[in-house]
Amino acid sequence: MTKPYPHPAVAWSIVALLVIASLVSFVDRQVVAIVVEPMKQDLGLNDSQIGWLYGIFAVFYALAALPIAWLADNRNRIYIISAGIGFWSMMTAACGIAQNFWQILLARMGVGVGEATLTPATNSLLGDYFPRDKLPLALSVYQLGPILGSGIAFIIGGVVLSVVMDLPPMVLPFFGELHPWQQTFIWLGLPGILLAVVFLLLPEPERRTSPTGTRMAFGEVAKFYRDNPRTLFCHHLGFLSLNLMGYAFVFWTVSYFVRVHGLNAAEASQTFGWIFAIFGALGPLITAWLGRQLELRGREDANISAGMIGGMIAMPFMIATQFAPDPTIAFLLYVPAMCFINSPFGIAAGALPVIAPATIRAQVAAVNMLVGSFGMMLGPPLAGWFNTSVFPGADGVRWSIITLTLCFGTLGTVLLWFGRKPYAESLRRAKAFG
């Protein structure tokens, strides 16, 4: 007998809490992009080193995802999420007491490991709250957390950076006087510790399928990839390319406004943050709605097609921002750019649980994270390398972004185009096997 799903009000309440957790994770993830200019000045860093502070986060985020995903498919997911939130929050605060590049790099590794807990555990958890046809929407709503979190990171980070610059210096025992950018890390890292306690109070839901165990689960994952090679190749690499394009664009935005248009970092961060939070959040909802409409019309490739369309629309707006003659026009162009650059991300995650067996959803999500993390890993440092070596000078950041957008945006949309038919075949098989 099929177990009934929890009441929708309960299910969507869990989604709301997970959105908050995701929001906090992206605040802590993105803060390094806000303090680029003052951190470079105080520590004597170059753009490539700054980019690798984001890239090293992505390396450890990806490496930790697979073992954590096995735990999520077999152990208490609420405890896993709570522990992850507490750990990444402490590591974010630790960035604020770092005294050199290598200490910050080490702390960013810890942030990556902590944040790797959230998405695999969420994919497994929500599979016990929502039926197959509702799961892509739930996961797309969950993906609002990263987008809102990124926007709020730029808003709050800009405000905090502006405030602490006007305050007397913070002096800590053993660490001495802290710069404003260091204080920004500390103040943004502390709230997550309280959220970790909140998650400890939640009950673990009953699983709809029994845990599979290490040997069987990994064998199932391998079989799933053997049975769906074209689908997963085009899905993973297509969305990876769009990820790389998007992360490079977002990470260097504040520096673009500082270097090209002469704004200060706090001002640029706050304005961009409002655009990101308000309009960026529309992207996954628009794409989820588009995917649902295509599905209702009988399109079994709906999830892939919706993500591809979002990526195609984003590219011309992203390029147009870099040619804006003044900051006002640039910010106006960022409105559609941020909406559509974020549009593929929710559907990228939501496309997988509907074709994967319930017993391995977290691990399939982790593999997708592992592949997609190369976008985070390579986008910011690759753009930083272009800034330093190919397009040196203050104006070079715009040409780096244009180059990466054209190359990886085109690659991503082409791969998703070729992935539509295989995805439809995979969905038909999943439905046939229940």
Query: How much is the pTM?
Result: 0.71
**Residue 57: domain span:** 8-202+213-433
Has residue 1 been placed in a domain? no
Has residue 64 been placed in a domain? yes
pLDDT at 94 over 70: yes
Nearest to 244 by CA among 406, 56, 414, 376: 376
Residue 366: how many other CB atoms lie within 10 Å: 28
Which secondary-structure segment (H or E) carries 177?
strand 176-178
DSSP 53-114: HHHHHHHHHHHHHHHHHHHHHHS-HHHHHHHHHHHHHHHHHHHTT--SHHHHHHHHHHHHHH
- Which range has the top average pLDDT, 89-93, 300-304, 305-309? 89-93
Has residue 425 been placed in a domain? yes
Q: According to the model, what pLDDT value does residue 120 have? A: 82
Directed axis angle between helix 253-261 and helix 396-404, to 10°?
A: 140
Task: Find the CATH number of the domain harbouring 35.
Answer: 1.20.1250.20
pLDDT at 420 over 80: yes
- The distance of Cα 298 from the centroid of its chain, to the nearest Å, equals 30
**Structural domain tally of the chain?**
1
Has residue 384 been placed in a domain? yes
Has residue 15 been placed in a domain? yes
- Which range has the top average pLDDT, 163-167, 306-310, 415-419? 415-419
- The residue-averaged pLDDT of 409-418 equals 93
Has residue 208 been placed in a domain? no
Has residue 109 been placed in a domain? yes
Of residues 249 and 202, which shows the higher confidence score?
Answer: 249
Determine the Cα–Cα distance for residues 343 and 346; give it in Å rounded to an integer.
7
Please, are residues 307 and 292 in contact by the beta-carbon 8 Å criterion?
A: no
Lowest-pLDDT choice from 15-29, 157-171, 189-203: 157-171
Q: According to the model, what pLDDT value does residue 389 have? A: 83
Q: According to the model, what pLDDT value does residue 214 have? A: 45
pLDDT at 137 over 50: yes
pLDDT in tens, 332-376: 999 999 888 877 777 777 788 788 887 777 778 778 877 877 887
Determine the Cα–Cα distance for residues 214 and 70; give it in Å rounded to an integer.
7
Q: According to the model, what pLDDT value does residue 210 have? A: 56
Has residue 207 been placed in a domain? no
Of the pLDDT bands very low, low, confident and very high (cuts 50, 70, 90), residue 216 is very low
pLDDT at 405 over 90: yes
